[in-house]
């Protein structure tokens, strides 16, 4: 079961400005957003959707205006070029892990079930969670937990994993959880969510991939084209917010003598758009969602 698309009406309302235009959904998943985009397009419109997960191909849409590209969205520009597309009217990204990936226990994304340590969005890639947990140096693990999981005791956790794997390889999600069996029950949900998030981001290089996609989005968007991004944790949202503000991920842009700088995007709304209480009640995945919309200047 793929998740109900979050902020569906709000995101597509913001995205579509030209029914005859060319649009991109970089996170196809169950196809919820893509189907809504197609409803808004004329017979001349065109939609290209991306998903690296082979499972998502089962959800492909039979529509001559639609093309599904089985590829990581870090290859956005080159993949579109193969179809002769050099500029588009709008790009939508609904980031993170789909409910389907969480619910498929064998993929190892969920903290709720015992499964092989995997967490690959692209099952064809070599790096998986088992390799990260069992082969990364202690210092590297600590950095992952600190920066990607925002866990303060990152060094302690890394040390405990390295100690545990000396006597027995950590193979399953339960093996990993047993290393931290001392964590009080009332803290476990949040702790393991942060730990699994950190490992998952490393396995899939999620933040680097997001940066590459954002930079390419700016290059291929037409003037006044829309970039709509829905994120689910502060690390992603921070990157999107900074990029839409000044086209950079860190540091400050060069300013002229009046203190002004060249903007990449105009924000459609100054603050992030969040789901209504009603949507959160119907779809718990929406709880942490933040949507930001940029218009290319």
Indicate the annotated binding residues.
31-33, 51, 73, 94, 101
What whole-number distance in Å separates Cα of residue 127 and Cα of residue 43?
42
Q: Are 225 and 295 in contact (CB under 8 A)?
A: yes
The token duo for 22 is 């060319």
Residues in binding site for S-adenosyl-L-methionine: 31-33, 51, 73, 94, 101
Beta bridge partners of 290: 231
Interatomic CA distance for residues 284 and 297, integer angstroms = 35
- Cα radius of gyration rounded to whole Å, the chain: 20
DSSP strand E in 46-183: where?
A: 46-50, 66-69, 88-94
Phi, psi (rounded to 5 degrees) for 2: -85, 155
Say how many Å lie between the first and final Cα of the chain, rounded: 39
Angle at 68 between CA 64 and CA 73, to 5 degrees: 145
What is each CA distance from 63 to 25, 41, 199, in whole angstroms?
15, 12, 37
The C-alpha atoms of residue 267 and residue 296 are separated, in whole angstroms, by 9
Burial class (CB in 10 A: 0-12, 13-18, 19+), 210: buried
Q: Where are the beta strands (DSSP E) in the chain?
A: 22-25, 46-50, 66-69, 88-94, 221-231, 265-267, 290-296
């Amino acid at each position: 079961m793929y998740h109900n698309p979050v902020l569906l009406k709000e995101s597509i309302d913001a995205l579509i400005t030209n029914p005859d235009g060319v649009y991109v959904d970089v996170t196809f998943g169950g196809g919820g957003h893509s189907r809504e985009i197609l409803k808004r397009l004329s017979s001349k419109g065109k939609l290209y959707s991306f998903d690296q997960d082979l499972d998502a191909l089962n959800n492909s849409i039979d529509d001559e205006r639609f093309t599904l590209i089985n590829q990581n969205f870090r290859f956005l520009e080159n993949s579109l070029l193969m179809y002769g597309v050099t500029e588009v009217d709008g790009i939508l990204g609904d980031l993170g892990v789909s409910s389907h990936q969480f619910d498929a226990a064998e993929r190892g994304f969920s903290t709720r079930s015992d499964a092989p340590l995997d967490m690959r969005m692209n099952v064809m890639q070599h790096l998986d969670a088992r390799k990260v947990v069992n082969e990364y140096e202690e210092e590297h693990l600590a950095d992952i937990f600190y920066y990607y999981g925002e866990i303060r005791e990152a060094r302690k956790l890394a040390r405990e994993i390295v100690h545990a794997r000396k006597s027995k390889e950590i193979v399953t999600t339960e093996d990993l959880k047993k290393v931290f069996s001392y964590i009080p029950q009332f803290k476990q949900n949040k702790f393991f969510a942060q730990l699994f998030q950190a490992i998952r981001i490393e396995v899939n290089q999620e933040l680097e991939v997001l940066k590459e996609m954002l930079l390419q989005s700016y290059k291929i968007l037409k003037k006044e084209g829309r970039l709509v991004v829905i994120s689910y944790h502060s690390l992603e949202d921070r990157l999107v917010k900074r990029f839409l503000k000044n086209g950079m991920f860190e540091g400050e842009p060069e300013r002229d003598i009046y203190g002004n700088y060249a903007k990449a995007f105009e924000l459609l709304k100054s603050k992030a758009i969040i789901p209504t209480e009603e949507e959160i009640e119907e779809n718990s995945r929406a709880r942490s969602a933040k949507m930001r919309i940029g218009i290319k200047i």
